[in-house]
Amino acid sequence: MKKPILVGVLALQGDFACHLSQLESLQVAGCEVRRADDLNDLDALIIPGGESTTMSELIDRFDMRLKLTEFVRHRAVWGTCAGSILLARKVDDPRVRPLGAVDMVIRRNAYGRQVHSFYDEIEARLNGTVSRLKASFIRAPIIEELGGKVTILAEYQGSPVLIEQGRCLVSTFHSELHDNTLLTRYFLECIVLDGRKGCPG
């Protein structure tokens, strides 16, 4: 890293600890975000996996919606699984009120219940290079529609599973459950620092 950055992980519910330990292993400062004020000094935010209904409800209960919506519009953000649902423009289920940062329509639990959850390796085009990522799809959503400003970085079984739009990164799968930090490094170096040099690939 060229300059010290601070990355927050939304810690209302979910696997926020996995993201924090990936950041720690890369010697990047990370912190839990449980209140709107926790967003103040952050360079970037990760919205982890977990239950999107729970997170959506707690975002409103703790009066975080306004500040979060503002944050994800202007600063670097990465949503994984439930986090990707929260970043969408539209969700198939009214129980989740998304933040609308990314021009996409997403469907929850689209592969089915837990017995249909699975692991696979996927190929992603990161910074001009094809990289293999370890991917766990756990009660994962499927992106059903994409707007014109969205770039697809990886597809799986004909659906986009890793996309970016501006400073938003969206993965419908979990890479943070594995020891491979490639996607975290991509987020930090190519989106947070926004320096196209030195991106992993």
Partner 1 sequence: MNFEDKDYRIRVGLAEMLKGGVIMDVINAEQAKIAEQAGAAAVMALERVPADIRADGGVARMADPDIIESIKKAVSIPVMAKCRIGHFAEAEILQALEVDFIDESEVLTPADNANHIDKWRFKAPFVCGCRNLGEALRRIGEGAAMIRTKGEAGTGDVSEAVRHLREVIGAITRLTVLPEEELFSAAKELRAPLTVVKMVAERGKLTVPNFAAGGVATPADAALVMKLGAEAVFVGSGIFKSSNPQQRAVAIVTAVAQYKDPKAVADCSRGLGEAMKGISAAEIPDENLLQVR
Q: Which residues are catalytic?
A: 81, 174, 176
Q: Does 93 bind partner 1 (CB under 8 A)?
A: yes
Is the Cβ–Cβ distance between 78 and 171 less than 8 Å?
yes
CB of 198 to partner 1, least distance (A): 31
Judged by CB under 8 A, the stretch of 8-16, 124-132, 141-149, 159-167 that binds partner 1 is 8-16
Question: What is the separation, in whole angstroms, between the first and last Cα of the chain?
Answer: 16
Is the Cβ–Cβ distance between 45 and 69 less than 8 Å?
no
Task: Give the span between the Cα atoms of 82 and 53, in whole angstroms.
Answer: 9
Give the one residue of 8, 9, 15, 77 binding partner 1; rule: CB under 8 A.
15
Q: Does 50 bind partner 1 (CB under 8 A)?
A: yes
Secondary structure element (H or E) that encloses residue 69, with its range: helix 65-74
Is the Cβ–Cβ distance between 40 and 46 less than 8 Å?
no
Spacing of C-alpha 97 from chain mean position:
16
Q: Does 62 bind partner 1 (CB under 8 A)?
A: yes
Give the one residue of 39, 42, 68, 82 binding partner 1; rule: CB under 8 A.
82
Q: Does 16 bind partner 1 (CB under 8 A)?
A: yes
CB of 79 to partner 1, least distance (A): 14
Q: What phi and psi values does residue 30 have, to the nearest 5 degrees?
A: -130, 155
Residues that bind partner 1 (CB under 8 A): 11-18, 34, 49-51, 53-54, 57-58, 61-62, 81-82, 93, 95, 108-109, 112-115, 117-119, 136, 138-139, 174, 177
